[in-house]
Amino acid sequence: MKYAVSLQCEDGEYVAECAEMNLSARSLSPGNALDALREEIRYRLELCPCTSVDEDYIEFEVRG
């Protein structure tokens, strides 16, 4: 699944946002912000604790 993500630097922190899922994540590095956003999307996509979403299932198209 591919998601459009914007990545911006605000006040020394990087903010990764996915408008489609209405989610965002903040971190001190762009890589960590994207990783945190990916984990949050995976969490939201899982239907129950017994299912899992593979890490390579989520792809980002980063803008900004």
Q: Concatenated DSSP letters for 35-50?
A: HHHHHHHHHHH-SSTT
CA torsion through residues 2, 15, 20, 46, sign: positive
Fold of the 2-63 domain = Double Stranded RNA Binding Domain (3.30.160)
Q: What integer pLDDT is reported at residue 58 of this predicted model?
A: 79
| Per-residue model confidence as pLDDT tens digits over 10-60 | 899 999 999 999 999 999 999 999 999 999 998 888 766 666 666 667 788
Q: What integer pLDDT is reported at residue 30 of this predicted model?
A: 96
Q: What integer pLDDT is reported at residue 17 of this predicted model?
A: 97
Any idea where the domains of the chain sit in the sequence? 2-63
